Amino acid sequence: MLLGACAGPPSAPLASASLDDAVRQLMQREQVKGLALAVIEHGQVVKVAAYGQRNVAKALPLTPDTVMYGASLTKAAFGYMVMQLADEGRLSLDAPLAQLLPQPLPKYGDAKRGYADLAGDERWRQLTPRMLLTHSSGFANFRWVEADQRLQFHFDPGSRYAYSGEGINLLQFVLEKGLGLDVGQEMQRRIFDRFGMTRTSMRWRPDFANNLADGYQLDGSELPHDERSNVRAAGSMDTTIADQARMWAGFMRGDGLSPAARAEWIKGQLPITSAHQFPTFLPPTETRYQAIGLSAALGVVRFDDASGPAWLKGGHDDATGNMALCLEAGQRCIVLLANDVRAERLYPALAERVLGATRMPWQWEYDWWQPPAP
């Protein structure tokens, strides 16, 4: 999806405005209907705010407790939960799936998440949880984007990065079938309850309906909130900005993980050598990000900022634009949720406003972004 070229640095009036005023000015400029943000300093939440509307036709305001779609921020939370299992010795990140499952993966042939398509391709035996978390499974983002909608390998597992929700959902399947876990319950207990996230869930809850955000697409048209009834590690989380603030602050502090496991979670595991994150199978020949060590970590993306290690995770669909950008130095983050995909146009300016200049690879995350003219 093209959003158009990103504007350059904020103008002088915007730069001198308060953060709240700057957000409102940027939203008005890009016609963004709703946006929420949180700021974390020293591992503590210092600001949570919401702007605009959760439903324009009904003139309903967006609030810090409005339930919004978490999209692929779910993957970061799932990765953190998997690291807890590894930390406890319940899961080896490098165990082949053949050792984790009671029967060969292609034997699971249920209609929704079956893996019979992989029969005859023994590369499934090479897959490990680490490969699935680092998006190096070899699968497309989802099987339904394939011409025949069948699951297949596009490269040898572990050999390169290519974003794949399919791989994340496969790891959920392994936890359920191999370890006998209920991933929805594990996420609730290990992540949402731990961080006091009372309005967050991996599946739809009726009590969300009293303060719920509908979405707005690139052309401004409304897209009603999807009531997701199935737990999907790749992206079924409903949440609020207040809850996300608590979660990312907890991640920054390393709550629930040993220091070694926390360090492993954000460690660069696999270099990223594509020009952009999407399309997923761009040639792995890009060298421009070597200087910042852009790499896949275990549920987030790692890069080297001038201040030290940094990491990011986005979440996107036709009516959702989410972003978490964190710097290890000072335990600082900006977390952004929007029920309007056009809000992504604002994120480079808002991140700079909160965190200062960083080496954040905006052009890799958003293929439409262009650096401002010198």
Q: What is the DSSP secondary-structure string of 87-120?
A: HTTS--TT--HHHHSSS-GGG---TTT--GGGTT
pLDDT at 3: 46
Contact between 27 and 7 under an 8 Å Cβ cutoff? The reply is no
Determine whether 345 is exposed, middle or buried from the number of CB atoms within 10 Å of its CB (0-12, 13-18, 19+): buried
pLDDT at 17: 74
pLDDT at 11: 53
pLDDT at 371: 81
Beta strands in 148-239 (DSSP E): 215-216, 222-223, 238-239
- Domains, the chain: 12-88+202-226+235-365 (3.40.710.10), 92-178 (no CATH)
User: What are the angstrom distances between the C-alpha of 99 and each of 17, 19, 107, 129?
Assistant: 57, 51, 14, 11
User: What are the angstrom distances between the C-alpha of 64 and each of 58, 166, 364?
Assistant: 18, 31, 29
Which DSSP state fits 200? -
Q: d(Cα 148, Cα 322) in Å, to the nearest integer?
A: 30
- Walk along the chain (374 residues) in steps of 10 and give the mean pLDDT of each run: 44 71 96 98 98 98 98 98 98 98 92 83 98 98 95 98 98 97 98 98 98 98 97 98 98 98 98 97 96 98 98 98 98 98 97 97 95 74
Burial 232-251 (b: 16+ CB within 10 A, else e): bbbbbbbbbbbbbbbbbbbb
């993306």: which residue's tokens? 301
Nearest to 115 by CA among 157, 169, 75, 155: 169
Which uninterrupted H or E stretch holds 362? helix 362-365
pLDDT at 8: 47
Backbone φ and ψ for 72, nearest 5 degrees, come out as -80, 0
